Amino acid sequence: MFSSGNYRRFRTQGLLLLALSGLMIIMSFSSPYFMKWDNLRNILDQSTLNILVGVGMTLVICAGGIDLSVGAVAALVGAVMGLAMHAGYSPYLAIAAGLMVAVLSGLVNGGLTAYLRITPFIVTLASLSIIRGLTLIITGAIPISSFPSTFTGLGSGSLGIFPAPVVLTALVAAAGSVLLNLTPSGYYFQAMGGNEEALRRSGISVPRYKILVYVLSAFCAGLAGLVLTARLNCADPTAGYMLEMDAIATAVLGGTSMRGGQGSMAGTVIAGLLLAVLRNGLTINSIASYYQQVLVGVIILAAVVISELRSNRVEEAAL
């Protein structure tokens, strides 16, 4: 027997799959190049950033928070990696340093939210500004380029027929699904988003898990920064602009409730693919990027409205 929550989750995933299939059919008629393998491979590759950051955003929103700093964290991680490699360190040490910086930013966001009880929106909005500024300072506002092939291969290389970032993203999404659905931490994240006070009264250390969820979000953003920097062979201090909005769109469209307490990693993956197909199809049909940005905003608004209406119906049924 499925619970009502599981039923809603599977229904959302089914509708997303139908929307994805329908959109692919429409795009295949609009352009003869859309269904070619090279283009489909490109869609998978381009979906990786949204899905990577969307996995972390799903956890945060499910836990009742929000993280607006993920795009800035991705840019900072890329800058740290680029500076480290130009200073003579190996790509592996550079990657470790970049991901450590991401974890540190997550610790700060989580700590301020958990212990000072500052609204996550304000904390992460301030972090976005601070981290963007730090990235511009340490790079002198100049992109850093030309990295070893062992590093750039992580962004442009392949494992079999699939791009390396796609394989990495699949592993991260699978790990996120296991964490959210099959571990105590995932249960606590959902309980924290549903009723934080009840979780606290049951003896669970809410601050510990609140910090953990922001660390995981920042780590996913760091992985996105790694992929982006390696793919472009360039650490651009302005990289990741509006990535947080794409991550929110991916998570919410995938069925994660903005009120917290409910999330779907499978939905996040499908939504990430749907947005990638949409953008690819619009680009092939020569639709300007700024129209695409407007469309993403409309999608976010529509997904939030639908989520709120669904939550209101559930609350009314429970009364």
Specify the range with the lowest mean pLDDT, choosing from 6-10, 87-91, 282-286.
6-10
Check which CATH number belongs to the domain holding 84 and give it: 1.10.3470
Residue 106 included in any domain? yes
Residue 122 included in any domain? yes
Distances (CA, A) of 53 to 67, 200, 301, 302: 10, 28, 19, 20
What average pLDDT does range 138-143 have in this prediction? 93
pLDDT at 1 over 50: no
Q: How high is the pLDDT of residue 310?
A: 67
Residue 314, helix vs strand vs coil? helix
Specify the range with the lowest mean pLDDT, choosing from 25-34, 91-100, 229-238.
25-34
What average pLDDT does range 192-197 have in this prediction? 88
Residue 86 included in any domain? yes
Q: At 238, which helix (H) or strand (E)?
A: none
What average pLDDT does range 5-16 have in this prediction? 74
Residue 136 included in any domain? yes
pLDDT confidence tier of residue 319, bands split at 50, 70 and 90: low
**Mean of the per-residue pLDDT values of the chain:** 89
Residue 19 included in any domain? no
Q: How high is the pLDDT of residue 3?
A: 54
Angle at CA of residue 278, ends 277 and 283, nearest 5°: 95
Structural domain for 90, as ranges: 39-318
Percentage above 70 pLDDT, the chain = 94
Residue 20 included in any domain? no
Residue 21 included in any domain? no
Residues found in the chain? 319
The stretches of 87-116 forming alpha helices (DSSP H) are: 91-115
pLDDT confidence tier of residue 302, bands split at 50, 70 and 90: confident
Tens of pLDDT, residue by residue over 156-185, are 888 888 889 999 999 999 999 999 999 999
* 8 Å CB contact between 192 and 201: no
Q: Which residue has the higher pLDDT, 254 or 314?
A: 254
Q: Which residues of 215-228 are buried (b: 16+ CB within 10 A; e: fewer)?
A: bbbbbbbbbbbbbb
Q: How high is the pLDDT of residue 31?
A: 81
Chain-centroid distance of CA 142 in Å reads: 26
Q: Quote the tokens at residue 205.
A: 């250390």
> Is the pTM of the predicted complex or chain greater than 0.85?
yes
Residue 7 included in any domain? no
Distances (CA, A) of 28 to 198, 255, 269, 274: 50, 27, 21, 14
Domain total for the chain? 1
pLDDT at 149 over 50: yes
Strand duo 144-145 + 158-159: pairing: unpaired
Q: How high is the pLDDT of residue 285?
A: 81
Q: How high is the pLDDT of residue 142?
A: 94
* 8 Å CB contact between 113 and 210: yes
* 8 Å CB contact between 22 and 153: no
pLDDT at 69 over 50: yes
Distances (CA, A) of 27 to 105, 273, 283, 285, 289: 40, 14, 11, 9, 17
Q: How high is the pLDDT of residue 111?
A: 95
